[in-house]
Chains A and B, each alone.
Chain A
Amino acid sequence: MTIRGLSVWFSERTVLDRISFTACPGRIVVIVGPSGSGKTTLLRAVNRLNECFPNCRTEGSVELRLNGRDGDIYRDFVPLPDLRRKVGMVFQTPSVLPFSTRKNLAMPLKVTLGLDGARLSERVEWALREVSLWDEVKDRLHADASTLSGGQQQRLCLARVLALEPQILLLDEPTASLDFKATEKIEELLTKLKKRYTILAVSHSLSQTRRLADRVCVLRDGRIVRELDHQHLQDLNEFQRLVEDAF
Protein backbone atom coordinates (compact mmCIF):
# COMPACT_ATOMS: atom_id res chain seq x y z
CA MET A 1 0.00 0.00 0.00
CA THR A 2 1.44 3.37 -1.02
CA ILE A 3 -0.25 6.60 -0.07
CA ARG A 4 0.99 9.72 -1.89
CA GLY A 5 -0.04 13.31 -1.25
CA LEU A 6 -3.40 12.30 0.21
CA SER A 7 -5.58 15.23 1.26
CA VAL A 8 -9.19 15.02 2.44
CA TRP A 9 -11.65 17.84 3.02
CA PHE A 10 -15.13 17.80 4.55
CA SER A 11 -16.89 20.91 3.27
CA GLU A 12 -14.08 23.47 3.45
CA ARG A 13 -12.32 21.93 6.44
CA THR A 14 -8.98 20.21 5.75
CA VAL A 15 -8.85 16.95 7.69
CA LEU A 16 -5.84 15.32 6.02
CA ASP A 17 -3.05 17.34 4.42
CA ARG A 18 -0.69 15.68 1.91
CA ILE A 19 -0.20 12.41 3.74
CA SER A 20 2.36 10.01 2.28
CA PHE A 21 3.55 6.64 3.59
CA THR A 22 3.74 2.95 2.72
CA ALA A 23 2.71 -0.27 4.41
CA CYS A 24 3.18 -3.91 3.48
CA PRO A 25 2.23 -7.41 4.66
CA GLY A 26 4.06 -8.75 7.69
CA ARG A 27 4.14 -5.42 9.50
CA ILE A 28 1.56 -3.57 11.54
CA VAL A 29 1.48 0.18 11.07
CA VAL A 30 -0.18 1.97 13.98
CA ILE A 31 -1.40 5.51 13.64
CA VAL A 32 -1.50 7.59 16.81
CA GLY A 33 -2.35 11.19 17.42
CA PRO A 34 -4.53 13.55 19.44
CA SER A 35 -8.31 13.49 18.96
CA GLY A 36 -9.34 15.22 15.76
CA SER A 37 -5.98 14.70 14.07
CA GLY A 38 -7.53 12.70 11.21
CA LYS A 39 -6.65 9.11 12.18
CA THR A 40 -10.04 7.59 11.37
CA THR A 41 -10.34 9.70 8.21
CA LEU A 42 -6.98 8.32 7.07
CA LEU A 43 -8.16 4.75 7.62
CA ARG A 44 -11.40 5.42 5.79
CA ALA A 45 -9.51 6.97 2.89
CA VAL A 46 -7.94 3.57 2.18
CA ASN A 47 -11.32 1.94 1.47
CA ARG A 48 -13.00 5.14 0.25
CA LEU A 49 -15.50 5.02 3.11
CA ASN A 50 -15.15 8.80 3.55
CA GLU A 51 -17.33 9.08 0.44
CA CYS A 52 -20.29 7.89 2.52
CA PHE A 53 -20.20 11.27 4.25
CA PRO A 54 -21.58 14.38 2.56
CA ASN A 55 -19.32 17.07 1.08
CA CYS A 56 -16.18 14.92 1.15
CA ARG A 57 -13.40 15.70 -1.33
CA THR A 58 -10.23 13.66 -1.72
CA GLU A 59 -7.05 14.36 -3.65
CA GLY A 60 -3.87 12.38 -3.99
CA SER A 61 -3.47 8.67 -4.54
CA VAL A 62 -3.75 5.42 -2.65
CA GLU A 63 -2.05 2.65 -4.60
CA LEU A 64 -2.82 -0.88 -3.62
CA ARG A 65 -1.89 -4.30 -4.94
CA LEU A 66 -5.14 -6.25 -5.14
CA ASN A 67 -5.50 -9.65 -6.77
CA GLY A 68 -2.05 -9.29 -8.31
CA ARG A 69 -2.82 -5.92 -9.93
CA ASP A 70 -1.51 -2.52 -8.89
CA GLY A 71 -3.55 0.63 -9.17
CA ASP A 72 -4.82 3.81 -7.59
CA ILE A 73 -8.15 3.19 -5.89
CA TYR A 74 -9.20 6.75 -6.67
CA ARG A 75 -8.84 6.03 -10.39
CA ASP A 76 -11.43 3.23 -10.10
CA PHE A 77 -9.00 0.46 -11.01
CA VAL A 78 -11.27 -1.88 -9.07
CA PRO A 79 -15.07 -1.55 -8.49
CA LEU A 80 -15.90 0.05 -5.15
CA PRO A 81 -17.70 -2.95 -3.59
CA ASP A 82 -14.72 -5.19 -4.51
CA LEU A 83 -12.28 -2.67 -3.05
CA ARG A 84 -14.15 -2.59 0.24
CA ARG A 85 -14.23 -6.38 0.43
CA LYS A 86 -10.50 -6.55 -0.13
CA VAL A 87 -9.78 -3.74 2.31
CA GLY A 88 -11.73 -4.85 5.35
CA MET A 89 -12.48 -2.52 8.22
CA VAL A 90 -13.24 -3.15 11.88
CA PHE A 91 -14.74 -0.27 13.79
CA GLN A 92 -14.21 0.96 17.30
CA THR A 93 -17.70 -0.04 18.42
CA PRO A 94 -18.53 -3.70 17.75
CA SER A 95 -21.00 -3.39 14.87
CA VAL A 96 -23.05 -6.53 14.99
CA LEU A 97 -26.20 -6.63 12.92
CA PRO A 98 -29.58 -7.47 14.53
CA PHE A 99 -29.22 -11.07 13.35
CA SER A 100 -27.96 -14.35 14.69
CA THR A 101 -24.20 -14.92 15.04
CA ARG A 102 -24.24 -17.16 11.98
CA LYS A 103 -26.19 -14.71 9.84
CA ASN A 104 -23.84 -11.86 10.75
CA LEU A 105 -21.15 -13.83 8.91
CA ALA A 106 -23.31 -15.53 6.32
CA MET A 107 -25.21 -12.53 4.96
CA PRO A 108 -22.21 -10.66 3.44
CA LEU A 109 -20.86 -13.95 2.05
CA LYS A 110 -24.18 -14.77 0.39
CA VAL A 111 -24.87 -11.30 -0.92
CA THR A 112 -21.38 -10.28 -2.12
CA LEU A 113 -19.78 -13.61 -3.04
CA GLY A 114 -22.87 -15.71 -3.76
CA LEU A 115 -21.76 -18.47 -1.38
CA ASP A 116 -24.37 -20.96 -0.30
CA GLY A 117 -24.86 -24.38 1.25
CA ALA A 118 -21.79 -26.31 2.40
CA ARG A 119 -19.30 -23.76 1.07
CA LEU A 120 -20.97 -21.06 3.11
CA SER A 121 -20.95 -23.15 6.28
CA GLU A 122 -17.29 -24.04 5.80
CA ARG A 123 -16.32 -20.41 5.36
CA VAL A 124 -18.32 -19.38 8.43
CA GLU A 125 -16.61 -22.04 10.54
CA TRP A 126 -13.18 -21.17 9.16
CA ALA A 127 -13.61 -17.46 9.95
CA LEU A 128 -14.82 -18.16 13.48
CA ARG A 129 -11.85 -20.49 14.07
CA GLU A 130 -9.47 -17.84 12.76
CA VAL A 131 -10.55 -15.50 15.56
CA SER A 132 -10.72 -18.31 18.17
CA LEU A 133 -14.47 -17.85 18.53
CA TRP A 134 -15.74 -21.14 17.12
CA ASP A 135 -15.61 -23.14 20.36
CA GLU A 136 -17.38 -20.34 22.24
CA VAL A 137 -20.30 -19.96 19.83
CA LYS A 138 -20.66 -23.24 17.91
CA ASP A 139 -23.58 -24.33 20.10
CA ARG A 140 -25.45 -21.05 19.76
CA LEU A 141 -24.86 -19.94 16.22
CA HIS A 142 -28.55 -19.07 15.84
CA ALA A 143 -28.71 -16.96 18.99
CA ASP A 144 -28.81 -13.20 18.58
CA ALA A 145 -25.30 -11.79 18.14
CA SER A 146 -26.10 -9.04 20.63
CA THR A 147 -26.10 -11.67 23.40
CA LEU A 148 -22.34 -12.13 22.92
CA SER A 149 -19.94 -10.25 25.19
CA GLY A 150 -18.17 -7.13 23.89
CA GLY A 151 -14.96 -9.02 23.20
CA GLN A 152 -16.82 -11.80 21.41
CA GLN A 153 -18.74 -9.27 19.32
CA GLN A 154 -15.53 -7.56 18.27
CA ARG A 155 -13.98 -10.90 17.31
CA LEU A 156 -17.16 -11.67 15.38
CA CYS A 157 -16.74 -8.40 13.48
CA LEU A 158 -13.15 -9.36 12.69
CA ALA A 159 -14.29 -12.83 11.58
CA ARG A 160 -16.89 -11.22 9.32
CA VAL A 161 -14.17 -9.20 7.62
CA LEU A 162 -11.76 -12.14 7.36
CA ALA A 163 -14.47 -14.33 5.82
CA LEU A 164 -14.50 -12.03 2.80
CA GLU A 165 -10.81 -12.82 2.17
CA PRO A 166 -9.41 -9.31 2.37
CA GLN A 167 -5.82 -8.39 1.67
CA ILE A 168 -5.65 -5.34 3.88
CA LEU A 169 -7.12 -4.81 7.34
CA LEU A 170 -8.06 -1.40 8.71
CA LEU A 171 -8.62 -1.44 12.47
CA ASP A 172 -10.04 1.65 14.11
CA GLU A 173 -9.24 1.32 17.84
CA PRO A 174 -10.41 -2.29 17.83
CA THR A 175 -10.04 -2.74 21.58
CA ALA A 176 -11.29 0.67 22.75
CA SER A 177 -14.51 -0.65 24.26
CA LEU A 178 -13.10 -3.93 25.63
CA ASP A 179 -11.77 -5.09 29.00
CA PHE A 180 -8.09 -6.10 29.34
CA LYS A 181 -8.73 -9.84 28.89
CA ALA A 182 -10.65 -9.31 25.67
CA THR A 183 -7.99 -6.82 24.55
CA GLU A 184 -5.30 -9.41 25.14
CA LYS A 185 -7.11 -11.92 22.92
CA ILE A 186 -7.53 -9.40 20.10
CA GLU A 187 -3.87 -8.36 20.29
CA GLU A 188 -2.75 -12.02 20.10
CA LEU A 189 -4.94 -12.42 17.07
CA LEU A 190 -3.50 -9.38 15.33
CA THR A 191 0.04 -10.58 15.92
CA LYS A 192 -0.94 -13.85 14.25
CA LEU A 193 -2.77 -12.14 11.37
CA LYS A 194 -0.02 -9.70 10.41
CA LYS A 195 1.86 -12.50 8.71
CA ARG A 196 -0.86 -12.71 6.06
CA TYR A 197 -2.37 -9.26 5.87
CA THR A 198 -1.25 -5.66 5.58
CA ILE A 199 -2.59 -4.10 8.78
CA LEU A 200 -3.18 -0.43 9.42
CA ALA A 201 -4.49 0.31 12.90
CA VAL A 202 -5.41 3.29 15.02
CA SER A 203 -4.77 3.22 18.73
CA HIS A 204 -5.11 5.61 21.63
CA SER A 205 -3.05 3.39 23.92
CA LEU A 206 0.71 3.92 23.80
CA SER A 207 1.37 0.63 25.60
CA GLN A 208 -0.74 -1.24 23.06
CA THR A 209 1.06 0.58 20.26
CA ARG A 210 4.40 -0.57 21.64
CA ARG A 211 3.17 -4.15 21.89
CA LEU A 212 1.70 -4.33 18.38
CA ALA A 213 3.40 -1.86 16.09
CA ASP A 214 6.26 -2.48 13.71
CA ARG A 215 5.98 1.12 12.66
CA VAL A 216 4.22 4.13 14.16
CA CYS A 217 2.94 7.21 12.35
CA VAL A 218 2.15 10.17 14.55
CA LEU A 219 -0.59 12.35 13.12
CA ARG A 220 -1.25 15.91 14.18
CA ASP A 221 -3.64 18.38 12.50
CA GLY A 222 -3.98 16.09 9.50
CA ARG A 223 -0.23 15.67 8.86
CA ILE A 224 2.27 12.97 9.69
CA VAL A 225 4.66 14.74 11.99
CA ARG A 226 6.76 11.72 12.98
CA GLU A 227 7.40 8.18 11.86
CA LEU A 228 8.92 5.74 14.34
CA ASP A 229 10.47 2.40 13.50
CA HIS A 230 10.74 -0.71 15.61
CA GLN A 231 14.01 0.44 17.18
CA HIS A 232 12.27 3.51 18.65
CA LEU A 233 9.72 1.27 20.34
CA GLN A 234 12.18 -0.71 22.41
CA ASP A 235 12.58 1.77 25.25
CA LEU A 236 9.28 2.82 26.80
CA ASN A 237 10.47 6.17 28.13
CA GLU A 238 12.16 7.08 24.88
CA PHE A 239 9.06 6.10 22.92
CA GLN A 240 6.80 8.10 25.21
CA ARG A 241 9.05 11.14 24.91
CA LEU A 242 9.13 10.96 21.13
CA VAL A 243 5.36 10.64 20.89
CA GLU A 244 4.68 13.41 23.38
CA ASP A 245 7.05 15.71 21.50
CA ALA A 246 5.16 14.97 18.31
CA PHE A 247 1.76 15.53 19.99
Chain B
Amino acid sequence: MKTATDLLLTAYAWFCAIAVFLATSLLLGFLLKRGMGVIHPRLFFGDTPWFPALLGTKPVFEGIWPALVGTLALVLVSSVMAIPLGIASGIYLSEYASARVRSMLGFAVDVLSGTPSIVMGLFGFTMILFLRKTALPQARPSLFLAAGCITLLILPYVIRTTQTALEAIPEHIRLLGPSLGLTHWHHVRHVLLPSASRGILSGAILAIGRASEDTAVIMLTGVVARAGLPASLWDKFEALPFRIYTLAAEHRSVQELDQGFGMALVLLLMTGSLFAVASFLQRSLEKRWKTT
Protein backbone atom coordinates (compact mmCIF):
# COMPACT_ATOMS: atom_id res chain seq x y z
CA MET B 1 0.00 0.00 0.00
CA LYS B 2 1.41 3.39 -0.97
CA THR B 3 2.44 5.72 1.79
CA ALA B 4 1.43 9.35 1.92
CA THR B 5 4.97 10.34 0.86
CA ASP B 6 4.77 8.07 -2.21
CA LEU B 7 1.44 9.59 -3.20
CA LEU B 8 2.68 13.12 -2.61
CA LEU B 9 5.82 12.58 -4.67
CA THR B 10 3.86 10.92 -7.47
CA ALA B 11 1.40 13.82 -7.50
CA TYR B 12 4.30 16.30 -7.55
CA ALA B 13 5.99 14.47 -10.42
CA TRP B 14 2.75 14.53 -12.42
CA PHE B 15 2.28 18.21 -11.61
CA CYS B 16 5.78 19.06 -12.86
CA ALA B 17 5.33 17.07 -16.06
CA ILE B 18 1.96 18.67 -16.78
CA ALA B 19 3.32 22.14 -15.90
CA VAL B 20 6.19 21.76 -18.39
CA PHE B 21 3.83 20.46 -21.04
CA LEU B 22 1.39 23.32 -20.40
CA ALA B 23 4.14 25.97 -20.41
CA THR B 24 5.50 24.66 -23.73
CA SER B 25 2.01 24.43 -25.22
CA LEU B 26 1.12 27.94 -24.03
CA LEU B 27 4.32 29.36 -25.47
CA LEU B 28 3.82 27.61 -28.79
CA GLY B 29 0.15 28.50 -28.81
CA PHE B 30 0.89 32.15 -28.10
CA LEU B 31 3.55 32.29 -30.79
CA LEU B 32 1.24 30.61 -33.28
CA LYS B 33 -1.63 32.96 -32.42
CA ARG B 34 0.41 36.13 -32.70
CA GLY B 35 2.85 35.07 -35.36
CA MET B 36 0.97 32.75 -37.72
CA GLY B 37 -0.88 35.63 -39.34
CA VAL B 38 2.33 37.25 -40.57
CA ILE B 39 3.88 34.08 -42.03
CA HIS B 40 3.70 35.07 -45.65
CA PRO B 41 6.25 35.40 -48.44
CA ARG B 42 6.29 39.15 -47.70
CA LEU B 43 7.72 38.44 -44.23
CA PHE B 44 10.65 36.63 -45.87
CA PHE B 45 11.24 38.65 -49.04
CA GLY B 46 9.57 42.03 -48.56
CA ASP B 47 8.81 43.58 -51.96
CA THR B 48 11.51 41.56 -53.75
CA PRO B 49 10.29 38.68 -55.97
CA TRP B 50 10.94 35.41 -54.13
CA PHE B 51 13.00 33.54 -56.74
CA PRO B 52 15.70 36.21 -57.32
CA ALA B 53 15.68 36.76 -53.53
CA LEU B 54 16.31 33.02 -52.93
CA LEU B 55 19.18 33.01 -55.40
CA GLY B 56 20.58 36.25 -54.00
CA THR B 57 20.49 37.99 -57.38
CA LYS B 58 18.27 40.75 -55.99
CA PRO B 59 18.67 42.31 -52.53
CA VAL B 60 15.95 41.92 -49.90
CA PHE B 61 15.33 45.06 -47.89
CA GLU B 62 12.38 44.44 -45.59
CA GLY B 63 12.18 40.66 -45.42
CA ILE B 64 13.90 38.25 -43.00
CA TRP B 65 15.42 36.02 -45.69
CA PRO B 66 18.97 37.43 -45.20
CA ALA B 67 18.58 36.98 -41.44
CA LEU B 68 17.37 33.38 -41.92
CA VAL B 69 20.32 32.58 -44.19
CA GLY B 70 22.70 34.38 -41.82
CA THR B 71 21.45 32.33 -38.86
CA LEU B 72 21.71 29.09 -40.83
CA ALA B 73 25.24 29.98 -41.93
CA LEU B 74 26.20 30.85 -38.35
CA VAL B 75 24.79 27.58 -36.98
CA LEU B 76 26.42 25.49 -39.72
CA VAL B 77 29.86 27.09 -39.47
CA SER B 78 29.92 26.95 -35.67
CA SER B 79 28.60 23.35 -35.66
CA VAL B 80 31.23 22.26 -38.19
CA MET B 81 33.90 23.74 -35.90
CA ALA B 82 32.45 22.75 -32.52
CA ILE B 83 30.99 19.28 -33.02
CA PRO B 84 34.07 17.39 -34.29
CA LEU B 85 36.34 19.28 -31.87
CA GLY B 86 33.94 18.68 -28.98
CA ILE B 87 33.56 14.97 -29.73
CA ALA B 88 37.33 14.55 -30.06
CA SER B 89 37.88 16.39 -26.76
CA GLY B 90 35.23 14.28 -25.06
CA ILE B 91 36.91 11.11 -26.37
CA TYR B 92 40.28 12.36 -25.14
CA LEU B 93 38.94 13.17 -21.67
CA SER B 94 37.16 9.84 -21.35
CA GLU B 95 39.62 7.44 -23.00
CA TYR B 96 43.09 8.90 -23.10
CA ALA B 97 43.64 11.54 -20.42
CA SER B 98 45.27 10.68 -17.11
CA ALA B 99 43.30 11.43 -13.94
CA ARG B 100 45.29 14.64 -13.39
CA VAL B 101 44.84 15.94 -16.93
CA ARG B 102 41.17 14.97 -16.84
CA SER B 103 40.69 16.99 -13.68
CA MET B 104 42.49 20.08 -15.05
CA LEU B 105 40.84 20.02 -18.45
CA GLY B 106 37.49 19.18 -16.91
CA PHE B 107 37.78 22.29 -14.77
CA ALA B 108 38.60 24.38 -17.84
CA VAL B 109 35.55 22.98 -19.65
CA ASP B 110 33.36 23.80 -16.64
CA VAL B 111 34.69 27.37 -16.56
CA LEU B 112 34.00 27.70 -20.29
CA SER B 113 30.46 26.41 -19.89
CA GLY B 114 29.81 28.91 -17.10
CA THR B 115 31.01 31.88 -19.13
CA PRO B 116 28.12 34.30 -19.79
CA SER B 117 27.48 34.78 -23.51
CA ILE B 118 27.99 38.56 -23.28
CA VAL B 119 31.48 37.93 -21.88
CA MET B 120 32.15 35.64 -24.84
CA GLY B 121 30.99 38.45 -27.11
CA LEU B 122 33.33 40.89 -25.35
CA PHE B 123 36.15 38.40 -25.79
CA GLY B 124 35.49 38.29 -29.53
CA PHE B 125 35.34 42.07 -29.76
CA THR B 126 38.57 42.45 -27.77
CA MET B 127 40.20 39.91 -30.07
CA ILE B 128 39.37 42.10 -33.07
CA LEU B 129 40.85 45.19 -31.41
CA PHE B 130 44.00 43.24 -30.56
CA LEU B 131 44.37 41.86 -34.09
CA ARG B 132 43.84 45.30 -35.62
CA LYS B 133 46.68 46.70 -33.55
CA THR B 134 49.02 43.80 -34.25
CA ALA B 135 48.97 41.18 -36.98
CA LEU B 136 45.78 41.95 -38.90
CA PRO B 137 44.99 45.67 -39.28
CA GLN B 138 42.10 44.82 -41.59
CA ALA B 139 40.41 42.53 -39.05
CA ARG B 140 36.76 43.33 -38.40
CA PRO B 141 33.64 41.74 -36.92
CA SER B 142 32.37 39.06 -39.28
CA LEU B 143 30.40 35.84 -39.62
CA PHE B 144 33.59 33.87 -39.00
CA LEU B 145 34.38 35.74 -35.75
CA ALA B 146 30.80 35.32 -34.54
CA ALA B 147 30.87 31.62 -35.43
CA GLY B 148 34.21 31.24 -33.63
CA CYS B 149 32.82 32.76 -30.44
CA ILE B 150 29.65 30.67 -30.69
CA THR B 151 31.91 27.62 -31.11
CA LEU B 152 33.58 28.41 -27.79
CA LEU B 153 30.17 28.83 -26.20
CA ILE B 154 28.73 25.49 -27.37
CA LEU B 155 31.91 23.42 -27.12
CA PRO B 156 31.37 22.46 -23.45
CA TYR B 157 27.95 20.92 -24.24
CA VAL B 158 29.42 18.59 -26.82
CA ILE B 159 32.51 17.76 -24.73
CA ARG B 160 30.58 16.91 -21.59
CA THR B 161 27.83 14.88 -23.26
CA THR B 162 30.41 12.91 -25.25
CA GLN B 163 32.50 12.25 -22.17
CA THR B 164 29.46 11.26 -20.10
CA ALA B 165 28.06 9.02 -22.84
CA LEU B 166 31.39 7.19 -23.15
CA GLU B 167 31.89 6.83 -19.40
CA ALA B 168 28.37 5.39 -19.03
CA ILE B 169 29.20 2.40 -21.25
CA PRO B 170 29.00 -0.73 -19.06
CA GLU B 171 32.18 -2.53 -18.08
CA HIS B 172 31.50 -5.72 -20.05
CA ILE B 173 31.33 -3.68 -23.29
CA ARG B 174 34.45 -1.71 -22.33
CA LEU B 175 36.40 -4.91 -21.88
CA LEU B 176 35.06 -6.42 -25.08
CA GLY B 177 37.20 -4.50 -27.58
CA PRO B 178 40.53 -5.25 -25.87
CA SER B 179 39.48 -8.88 -25.31
CA LEU B 180 38.99 -9.29 -29.08
CA GLY B 181 42.47 -7.96 -29.81
CA LEU B 182 41.40 -4.48 -30.93
CA THR B 183 43.93 -1.69 -30.45
CA HIS B 184 42.83 1.21 -28.27
CA TRP B 185 41.84 3.39 -31.21
CA HIS B 186 39.95 0.55 -32.93
CA HIS B 187 38.18 -0.13 -29.66
CA VAL B 188 37.13 3.56 -29.37
CA ARG B 189 36.09 3.80 -33.03
CA HIS B 190 34.34 0.46 -33.52
CA VAL B 191 32.96 -0.34 -30.07
CA LEU B 192 32.70 2.68 -27.80
CA LEU B 193 31.55 5.39 -30.24
CA PRO B 194 28.69 3.32 -31.73
CA SER B 195 27.61 2.36 -28.20
CA ALA B 196 27.60 6.02 -27.15
CA SER B 197 26.21 7.50 -30.37
CA ARG B 198 22.82 8.50 -28.99
CA GLY B 199 24.31 10.37 -26.06
CA ILE B 200 26.76 12.13 -28.35
CA LEU B 201 23.93 13.14 -30.69
CA SER B 202 21.97 14.67 -27.82
CA GLY B 203 24.99 16.89 -27.11
CA ALA B 204 25.20 17.93 -30.74
CA ILE B 205 21.49 18.80 -30.80
CA LEU B 206 21.86 20.84 -27.62
CA ALA B 207 24.78 22.69 -29.20
CA ILE B 208 22.84 23.42 -32.39
CA GLY B 209 19.92 24.79 -30.39
CA ARG B 210 22.22 27.00 -28.36
CA ALA B 211 24.04 28.27 -31.44
CA SER B 212 20.83 29.25 -33.20
CA GLU B 213 19.35 31.34 -30.38
CA ASP B 214 22.22 33.26 -28.82
CA THR B 215 22.09 37.01 -29.33
CA ALA B 216 24.59 38.51 -26.89
CA VAL B 217 27.65 36.94 -28.54
CA ILE B 218 26.77 37.90 -32.09
CA MET B 219 25.84 41.48 -31.16
CA LEU B 220 29.50 42.27 -30.54
CA THR B 221 31.11 40.08 -33.15
CA GLY B 222 29.48 40.57 -36.51
CA VAL B 223 25.71 40.83 -36.65
CA VAL B 224 24.13 44.04 -37.94
CA ALA B 225 20.59 45.19 -38.64
CA ARG B 226 21.00 45.37 -42.41
CA ALA B 227 23.70 43.50 -44.33
CA GLY B 228 21.93 41.41 -46.95
CA LEU B 229 22.97 37.84 -47.66
CA PRO B 230 26.47 37.09 -46.33
CA ALA B 231 28.77 36.94 -49.35
CA SER B 232 31.64 35.33 -47.42
CA LEU B 233 32.75 34.30 -43.95
CA TRP B 234 34.52 37.64 -43.54
CA ASP B 235 31.43 39.80 -44.05
CA LYS B 236 28.96 41.14 -41.55
CA PHE B 237 25.65 39.35 -41.49
CA GLU B 238 22.07 39.44 -40.29
CA ALA B 239 20.58 36.97 -37.83
CA LEU B 240 17.06 36.11 -36.70
CA PRO B 241 17.69 36.36 -32.94
CA PHE B 242 19.09 39.88 -33.42
CA ARG B 243 16.17 40.93 -35.65
CA ILE B 244 13.72 39.61 -33.04
CA TYR B 245 15.56 41.45 -30.29
CA THR B 246 15.65 44.81 -32.13
CA LEU B 247 12.00 44.50 -33.17
CA ALA B 248 10.91 43.65 -29.63
CA ALA B 249 12.92 46.57 -28.22
CA GLU B 250 12.09 49.16 -30.87
CA HIS B 251 8.72 48.23 -32.36
CA ARG B 252 6.48 51.18 -33.11
CA SER B 253 3.23 49.32 -33.70
CA VAL B 254 1.42 46.09 -32.80
CA GLN B 255 1.95 44.88 -36.38
CA GLU B 256 5.70 45.20 -35.99
CA LEU B 257 5.56 43.29 -32.72
CA ASP B 258 3.52 40.58 -34.44
CA GLN B 259 6.29 40.41 -37.04
CA GLY B 260 8.66 39.68 -34.17
CA PHE B 261 6.45 36.77 -33.10
CA GLY B 262 6.39 35.56 -36.68
CA MET B 263 10.20 35.64 -36.76
CA ALA B 264 10.34 33.77 -33.44
CA LEU B 265 8.10 31.09 -34.95
CA VAL B 266 10.34 30.88 -38.01
CA LEU B 267 13.40 30.55 -35.77
CA LEU B 268 11.70 27.75 -33.82
CA LEU B 269 10.76 25.96 -37.04
CA MET B 270 14.29 26.36 -38.37
CA THR B 271 15.82 24.96 -35.19
CA GLY B 272 13.30 22.12 -35.14
CA SER B 273 14.19 21.28 -38.73
CA LEU B 274 17.90 21.23 -37.87
CA PHE B 275 17.16 18.84 -34.98
CA ALA B 276 15.14 16.63 -37.34
CA VAL B 277 18.00 16.58 -39.87
CA ALA B 278 20.52 15.76 -37.13
CA SER B 279 18.30 12.91 -35.84
CA PHE B 280 17.79 11.59 -39.36
CA LEU B 281 21.54 11.65 -40.01
CA GLN B 282 22.18 9.84 -36.73
CA ARG B 283 19.57 7.15 -37.51
CA SER B 284 20.99 6.64 -41.02
CA LEU B 285 24.54 6.41 -39.69
CA GLU B 286 23.37 4.04 -36.95
CA LYS B 287 21.63 1.83 -39.51
CA ARG B 288 24.80 1.77 -41.59
CA TRP B 289 26.98 1.07 -38.55
CA LYS B 290 24.80 -1.78 -37.38
CA THR B 291 24.90 -3.72 -40.61
CA THR B 292 28.10 -2.90 -42.54
Residues of A within 8 A of B (CB): 47, 49, 52, 81-85, 88-89, 91-93, 95, 97-100, 102-103, 107-108, 111-112, 142, 144, 160-161, 164
Residues of A within 8 A of B179 (CB): 47, 49, 84, 88-89, 91
Tally of contact residues, B, Cβ under 8 A: 20
A104 → chain B, closest Cβ, in Å?
Answer: 10
Closest Cβ–Cβ distance, residue A44 to chain B (whole Å): 8
Residue of B nearest to A141 (CB): B291
- What are 22 A-B pairs at a CB distance below 8 A? A49-B175, A52-B174, A52-B175, A81-B181, A81-B183, A88-B180, A91-B176, A91-B179, A93-B172, A95-B172, A97-B173, A97-B191, A98-B194, A98-B195, A99-B289, A100-B290, A102-B291, A103-B290, A103-B291, A112-B181, A112-B186, A142-B291
- The reply to whether A85 and B178 contact each other, CB–CB distance below 8 Å, is no
B175 near A112 (CB under 8 angstroms)? no
Once the chains are docked, how many angstroms separate the CA of A164 from the CA of B182? Answer: 11
- Is B190 positioned at the interface, with any CB of A under 8 Å from its CB? yes
A82 closest partner in B (C-beta): B181
B292 within 8 A of A: yes
**A103 x B178 contact (CB < 8 A):** no
- The reply to whether A85 and B289 contact each other, CB–CB distance below 8 Å, is no
Instruction: For the complex, give the distance between the alpha carbons of A164 and B181 in Å.
Output: 9
Q: Which residues of chain B are near A97, meaning CB under 8 Å?
A: 173, 176, 191, 194-195
Nearest A-chain residue to B197, judged by Cβ? A98
Q: B292 near A103 (CB under 8 angstroms)?
A: yes
| A111→B290 CA distance, assembly (Å) | 15
**B292 partner residues in chain A, CB cutoff 8 A:** 103
User: By the criterion CB–CB under 8 Å, are A95 and B176 in contact?
Assistant: yes
Report, nearest first, the 3 A-B pairs whose CB atoms are least far apart: A85-B181, A81-B181, A84-B181
Most buried by A among B174, B182, B290: B290
For window 151-205 of B, CB contacts with A under 8 Å fall at: 172-176, 178-183, 186, 190-191, 194-195
Q: Within 8 Å CB of B178, what residues of A?
A: 49, 52, 84
Q: Assuming A49-B175, A52-B174, is B290 touching A99 (CB within 8 A)?
A: yes
Q: How far is the CB of B220 from chain A (nearest CB, A)?
A: 44
Known: A84-B181, A98-B194, A112-B182. 11 other contacts (CB 8 A): A49-B175, A83-B181, A84-B179, A88-B179, A88-B180, A95-B176, A97-B173, A97-B191, A98-B195, A111-B186, A164-B181
B235 to chain A, nearest CB (A): 44
Q: Report the minimum CB–CB distance from A86 to chain B (whole Å).
A: 8
In the complex, A200 Cα to B291 Cα: how many Å?
Answer: 33
- Closest A residue to B183 by beta carbon equals A81
Contact B182 A81 (CB under 8 A): yes
Name the distance in Å between A84's Cβ and chain B's nearest Cβ: 4
